[in-house]
Amino acid sequence: MTVNSVCHRDYSIKGTEIQIKMFDNRLVFETPGKLPGIVRTDNIRHTHFSRNPKIAEYLKAYDYVKEFGEGVDRMCRELSAIGTKEPQYHLVAFIMKASVWANLLEEGQEKTIYDQKRPESDQISDQMKMILELIKEKPQISRSEISHKMGLHESSVKRRLKMMVDKGIIQRIGSDKGGHWQIK
């Protein structure tokens, strides 16, 4: 959300900056500028428009973003994968406010193995967790199927699969065409 704010704020508006406000149950990102082009709060997830294309190119070149136009949709998918509702957007005067809700544990509810703090080298991303779920459902799933189901570019899926193999989380049994994935 922070990267989206930096990339899409209206830099012609002076006197205010991007603000991130933390509450007990949510974070609110306040970004100067109305929604650009044909983007509206009801189509923001799937309508792409770059107000600042040079900043977007820089962020992609330095791996702050993986694919152009994937930010909001990717956030929604990753939040959904951990059981958190999608961000809510609303415009107040010339400030776009995006609320990202916390996934609070109920009293007595335990954290899952994925919630426990692990050394950084052992941590896996939410997208990797989603890939694991897809592999559990269908061990012979292909990269292109994973790409289609997750809405990611196939090169992004390939990169994540390689990281998971390198970390010893999964392994490929057999050939690329006739083999299957095994979770270790």
- On the question of pLDDT at 24 being above 70, the answer is yes
The helix, strand and coil proportions of the chain, stated in percent and rounded to the nearest 5, come to 35, 15, 50
Q: Which residues, 6 or more positions from 30, have their beta carbon under 8 angstroms from its beta carbon?
A: 18, 19, 20, 21, 95, 96, 97
Q: Which of 48-57, 158-167, 170-179 has the lowest mean pLDDT?
A: 48-57
Tokens of 22: 């933390």
Q: Residue 65's pLDDT is what?
A: 72
Which residues belong to CATH 3.30.565.60 in the chain?
Answer: 2-101
Q: In this predicted model, which residue has the larger pLDDT, 130 or 117?
A: 130
**Which fold does the domain 2-101 belong to in CATH?**
Heat Shock Protein 90 (3.30.565)
Using DSSP, state whether 100 is helix, strand or coil.
strand
Query: Is the pLDDT score of 121 beyond 70?
Result: no
pLDDT at 19 > cutoff 90: yes
Distance CA(47)–CA(53), nearest Å, equals 15
| 120-183 CATH choice from 3.40.50.1580, 3.30.310.160, 1.10.10.10, 3.40.30.10 | 1.10.10.10
User: CATH 1.10.10.10 region(s) of the chain?
Assistant: 120-183
According to DSSP H, which parts of the chain are helical? 2-8, 53-61, 71-81, 126-137, 143-150, 154-166
Mean pLDDT for all residues in the chain? 81
- In this prediction the pTM is 0.53
